[in-house]
Structures are given as C-alpha cells and as structure tokens.
C-alpha cells in the first residue's frame, strides 16, 4: 500500500507518493498561484498527485489515503480547512473538493505539525514517544507529537508556538498582538536584528557581506558573520539564541518532551546554532537537577512536508499507532 502526501505552500504545491515507512517513491511539484479560486488550486493539487502516483508505478487501488499539509488550521471530521491566511482560504471543504478527483480518505493538518510527524516517523526524532518540532522560518511554527500522533488540540488550534507571548509590550506581530515568540525567534527576526546591528555598526562584517546594502542582509549572512567572529554579528547571534533558548525552555517547562527538533531555514546554521541553544537551556530550567530532552536539528528538510502528510494519511486511515 502507498500513501499520497500533498504539501501546499503559498508559492508551491509539492506532491509525493510514499511507501508505508514514509520513503518517497516519486514527487511532482506545481505552482500554487494562490490568487486563483479554491477549486482551481485543488484541481492542480489532484493533477500533480495523480501524476506522482503514475510515476511511482502504482495505481489508485494501491493508495491507502491522502494527507494534506497546509499553512493553517484544519479539522478532520468533515475535512475542512478552517483558516489559511497565505492561501486566502476560510472554511473551505478541501476533502470534498479533492474527492472529486481522488476517491480516497483525505486528512489535513498544519504543515509544521506534519513536519514534526515526518521527523518522528522517518527522521531525527524517530522512535521517540514525545517530540516537539519548532520551525524557524518566515514565522515560527510548532508541531507536537505525543505517542506517535500529532496533538492538534481540542479545537485544532494547538502548537502555535510562534504566537505564545515572549515579551510583554514587545514587537508588534502580524496576528495583532505584541511580543509574540516569532517576532524574536524567526528568520525574519534574525534579519531584523541583523539590519539593526548593521545600522548601528556600519563597519560590521554583516554589512560588508551584504555588499554594503542593508536590504541584502539575510539570516545566513548574520550567522556567517557571527561564525567569523564579527562582534556585532556575534551580539545578534547571542541575543537570537537566547530568545530561542527561552522558547525551548517554555516547551520543556510545559511539556518536557523526549526530543525537541529545530527545523526551517535558520536550522541550516547547523551545530553552530544547536550548540549555542544547548548551552543556554540548562541555566533556564526549573528543575536544574534534571536534564532536558534531546535538542536536535531536523534532517528531512523540504521532504518533511510530503512525508508528514503521507504519514498522516496512514495514521488516520487505520487509526494504528506508528
Ligand atoms: Zn503573533
């Protein structure tokens, strides 16, 4: 039996077919073109999924289920996407629409949650009973996996780590609040802090590496300048990893998971990032005599979306434990 995983992003729809262990057999991508009507986007999702199925050498009869990851909130009773800002979707019947083209069980979940599920099935948190995935991208997403299953919450709104308040009266967030965690821990935040530091220290390596153009400053430049020992960049990196350690500490304090996985663009900073956070977390722990869960970097990269969606299908279809 095989599973179809569809990862819907603001710019790209990635479809793939996996085996029962989450190994990708084939994949097909297409543009989301999110400004189009919902039905047109779903039709392209189905076309790409069926093309991937044909490429895998399997037939529709071999498909156990279809999983879909979205950058938003969904419910799986009726298969409705409740809210998805990037795509402009609000209460859309994704399962019903997709079933017009693919007559298989369809399950939907948040993309960060599914990336966490993927890592817990086929990645760095494989075999862990509990894990929390933190994605450090444009925003900050979270995924909670308990006993091998995603924890979506009673209303489907759980694990929105990015919008936990980290600073009272802090930096305004797109959600309308101030001081949300993602204003300090996202790639966007790292870039903002990098630009502020470059403005304050024009002789900094950050600005040199950006060709003297503040608009060119990105997260990688800030990290690379810090790696080379530039004082302004090191100060930004220290502040950023302190915020990240506080985020990890919040997760540990609340859930104490076996593994905490850092994913998303900033996690490409690798051991330089992970080691800095690992060093800072112990000092923040409530129970200092106890250790905390393993802090790891995600290993599945862009494939996590397809794998997680496909494994959601496998999990929800049979109700079996992974
Ligand atoms: Zn927010």
The series of mean pLDDT values per 10 residues for the chain, 322 residues long, is 96 96 97 94 98 98 97 92 90 98 96 96 96 95 94 86 95 94 97 97 97 96 98 98 97 96 96 98 90 95 96 84 42
pTM of the model: 0.93
| pLDDT value for 157 | 83
Does residue 24 share a domain with residue 45?
yes
Q: 184-220 burial, b for 16+ CB within 10 Å, e for fewer? A: bbbbbbbbbbbbebbeebeebbbbebbeeeeeebbbb
Does residue 245 share a domain with residue 271?
yes
Does residue 82 share a domain with residue 141?
no
Does residue 56 share a domain with residue 151?
no
Reported in sequence order, the residue ranges of 184-268 that DSSP labels E, i.e. its strands, are: 259-263
Does residue 6 share a domain with residue 142?
no
Ligand 1 center to 319 CA (angstroms): 33
Query: What residue numbers bound the domain in which 219 lies?
Result: 126-299
Look up tokens 């999990």; give the residue: 315
Ligand 1 center to 161 CA (angstroms): 9
Instruction: Assign residue 69 the CATH number of its domain.
Output: 3.30.420.40
Does residue 112 share a domain with residue 197?
no
Angle, helices 304-318 vs 111-122, to 10°: value is: 80
Does residue 199 share a domain with residue 311?
no
Ligand 1 center to 169 CA (angstroms): 12
Ligand 1 center to 172 CA (angstroms): 8
Does residue 215 share a domain with residue 112?
no
* Nearest-angstrom CA–CA distance, 287 and 293: 13
| pLDDT value for 156 | 78
Does residue 131 share a domain with residue 51?
no
Ligand 1 center to 174 CA (angstroms): 6
Does residue 24 share a domain with residue 166?
no
* Nearest-angstrom CA–CA distance, 89 and 201: 43
| pLDDT value for 85 | 81
| pLDDT value for 321 | 42
Ligand 1 center to 99 CA (angstroms): 34
Ligand 1 center to 163 CA (angstroms): 4
| pLDDT value for 319 | 56
Does residue 307 share a domain with residue 252?
no
Ligand 1 center to 2 CA (angstroms): 38
Does residue 200 share a domain with residue 70?
no
**Number of domains the chain is built from:** 2
Residue 241 tokens, joined = 């990893």
| pLDDT value for 322 | 41
Ligand 1 center to 305 CA (angstroms): 23
Instruction: Tell me the three-class secondary structure of 82-144, residue by residue.
Output: EEEHHHCEEEECHHHHHHCCCCCCEEEEEHHHHHHHHHHHHCCCCCCCEEEEEEECCCEEEEE
Ligand 1 center to 140 CA (angstroms): 10
| pLDDT value for 146 | 96
Ligand 1 center to 53 CA (angstroms): 38
Ligand 1 center to 246 CA (angstroms): 16
**For the sheet containing 73-75, what is the strand order?**
73-75, 80-84, 89-92
């Amino acid at each position: 039996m095989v599973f179809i995983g569809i990862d819907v992003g603001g710019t790209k729809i990635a479809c793939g077919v996996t085996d029962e262990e989450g190994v990708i057999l084939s994949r097909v991508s297409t543009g989301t073109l999110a400004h189009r009507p919902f039905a047109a986007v779903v039709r392209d999702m189905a076309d790409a999924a069926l093309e991937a199925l044909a490429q895998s050498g399997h037939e529709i009869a071999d498909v156990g289920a279809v999983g879909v990851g979205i950058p938003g909130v969904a419910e799986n009773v009726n298969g409705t996407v409740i809210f998805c800002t990037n795509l402009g979707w609000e209460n859309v019947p994704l399962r019903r629409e997709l079933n017009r083209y693919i007559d298989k069980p369809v399950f939907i979940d948040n993309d960060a949650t599914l990336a966490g599920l993927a890592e817990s099935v086929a990645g760095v948190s494989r075999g862990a009973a509990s894990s929390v995935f933190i994605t450090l991208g444009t925003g900050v997403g979270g995924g909670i996996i308990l006993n091998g299953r995603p924890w979506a919450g009673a209303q489907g709104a759980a694990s929105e780590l990015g919008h936990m308040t980290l600073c009272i009266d802090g930096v305004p967030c797109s959600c309308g609040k101030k001081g949300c965690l993602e204003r300090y821990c996202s790639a966007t935040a790292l870039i903002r802090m990098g630009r502020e530091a470059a403005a304050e220290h024009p002789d900094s390596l950050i600005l040199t590496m950006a060709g003297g153009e503040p608009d060119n400053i990105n997260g990688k430049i800030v990290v690379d300048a810090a790696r080379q020992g530039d004082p302004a960049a090191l100060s930004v990196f220290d502040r950023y990893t302190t915020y990240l350690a506080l985020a990890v500490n919040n997760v540990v304090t609340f859930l104490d998971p076996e593994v905490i996985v850092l994913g998303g663009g900033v996690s490409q900073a690798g051991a330089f990032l992970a080691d800095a956070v690992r060093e800072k977390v112990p000092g923040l722990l409530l129970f200092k005599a106890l250790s905390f869960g393993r802090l790891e970097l995600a290993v599945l990269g862009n494939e996590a979306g397809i794998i997680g969606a496909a494994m959601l299908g496998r999990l929800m279809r049979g109700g079996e434990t992974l």
